[in-house]
């Protein structure tokens, strides 16, 4: 288990006591997300759907790489990595 820095955009900070980044332990991105939600339960409904899966309009990056192009939630993380979580912002 490594301690991973999770960067939160402005829109997610109110659910994390206003912090712009928080430290969470985990050995994969999925574990980091689970740990984040455990530490900040108000984030859960924003990040996860009713079945516990990451919502479609949430993008997760590991060191600036979209985890969809890595091993998704199974992507391993090591000390010093940064995970960033961002909503998709769109309109017409």
Question: Where on the chain is the footprint of Zn ion (CB under 5 A)?
Answer: 91-92
Q: Is residue 45 at the binding interface for another protein, with CB under 8 A as the rule?
A: yes
- Residue 70 interaction partner, one of another protein, Zn ion, none, beta carbon < 5-8 Å per kind: none
Q: Is residue 66 at the binding interface for another protein, with CB under 8 A as the rule?
A: yes
Is residue 9 within 8 A of residue 83, CB to CB? The reply is no
- CA dist list (Å): 59 to 1, 54, 86: 23, 9, 5
Q: Is residue 46 at the binding interface for another protein, with CB under 8 A as the rule?
A: yes
Q: Show Cβ contacts of residue 53 under 8 Å, excluding neighbours closer than 6 positions.
A: none
Q: Is residue 76 at the binding interface for another protein, with CB under 8 A as the rule?
A: no
């Amino acid at each position: 288990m490594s301690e991973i820095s999770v960067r939160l955009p402005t829109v997610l900070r109110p659910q994390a006591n206003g912090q712009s980044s928080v430290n969470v332990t985990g050995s994969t991105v999925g574990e980091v997300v689970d740990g984040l939600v455990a530490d900040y339960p108000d984030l859960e409904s924003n990040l996860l759907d009713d079945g516990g899966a990451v919502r479609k309009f949430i993008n997760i990056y590991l060191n600036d790489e979209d985890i969809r192009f890595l091993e998704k939630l199974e992507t391993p993380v090591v000390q010093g990595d940064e995970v960033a979580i961002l909503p998709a912002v769109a309109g017409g």
